[in-house]
Amino acid sequence: MTQSGQSVEAPMLELRHLSKIYGVDEAKVFALDDVSLTVRKGEFIAVMGPSGSGKSTAMNILGCLDTPTSGHYLLFGTDVTGLDRDQRALLRRYFLGFIFQGFNLLARTTALENVELPLIYQGIPADERRDRAMEALTKVGLQGRADHRPSELSGGQQQRVAIARAIVTKPGLILADEPTGNLDSARGREIMELLVQLNRDEGLSVLMVTHEPDMADYANRIVTFVDGKIQSDRVRDHHAA
């Protein structure tokens, strides 16, 4: 509680003095070096930094794909660093959505079937899976492309399918790894505008790794990594127009 008596919402995720070390002795490398970071629900954060800065390592830990050497990672109040591999997999399945640079769609299945896939892993019945997948495709503007396979879709449309797949489970957090990296600038802007819309209208929290400053400008907060540390953490007043 604050002094005024109002409750303060707990952070959605928190890194506390997190380090990730590879190698030993003289070969020791700090991929992350005593990183602390707090993210609250509804934020849209761009994570930037040169190659080798630690941003990808941080995203792998945030996505429960890797574990730190020391420190703590709290996700929705749970200390992820104390969980085993199967428990981390359950967190990924039910609470996280992933968007990749390469789309990662199954080539021989339709857009609808690609979007349904995470729901199959959750054991959702077929009728409900179809309804929820169609709802997600509608949110990304692809309701008329449900029966198309990836080869029948443009790069921008494929990334929209990937976004629909990421949001169909109604995750607490979307982790996006260079989501516009394989797109031309016009399609990249369309994808960023879609992510901003989902962040604004659906309250979707987004953490996005990007090398592109113009894409980072769509976020309302920019965190920059250098040499395994957070060099800057800057809040922006507005998304890019």
CATH topology of domain 13-235: Rossmann fold (3.40.50)
Tokens describing residue 103? 């789309």
Q: What is the pLDDT of residue 146?
A: 95
Domain boundaries, the chain: 13-235
**The predicted structure's pLDDT at residue 240:** 58
Query: What's the pLDDT at 64?
Result: 93
pLDDT at position 8 is 59
Q: Which residues of the chain are modeled with pLDDT < 70?
A: 1-8, 238-241
Q: Long-range contacts made by residues 143-151, C-beta under 8 angstroms, separation at least 24?
A: 145/111, 146/110, 146/111, 146/112, 147/110, 147/111, 147/112, 148/110, 148/111, 149/107, 149/108, 149/109, 149/110, 149/111, 150/103, 150/105, 150/106, 150/107, 150/111, 150/114, 151/107
The SS3 assignment for 146 reads coil
Instruction: Return mean pLDDT, the chain.
Output: 91
Q: What is the pLDDT of residue 2?
A: 46
pTM score over 0.85: yes
Long-range contacts: 209-212, Cβ < 8 Å, 24+? Answer: 209/46, 209/47, 209/48, 209/55, 209/56, 209/59, 209/176, 209/177, 209/178, 210/46, 210/47, 210/48, 210/178, 210/179, 210/180, 210/181, 211/48, 211/178, 211/181, 212/180, 212/188
Q: What is the predicted pLDDT for the residue at 24?
A: 86
The predicted structure's pLDDT at residue 27:
86
pLDDT in tens, 126-178: 999 999 999 999 999 998 999 999 999 999 999 999 999 999 999 989 999 99
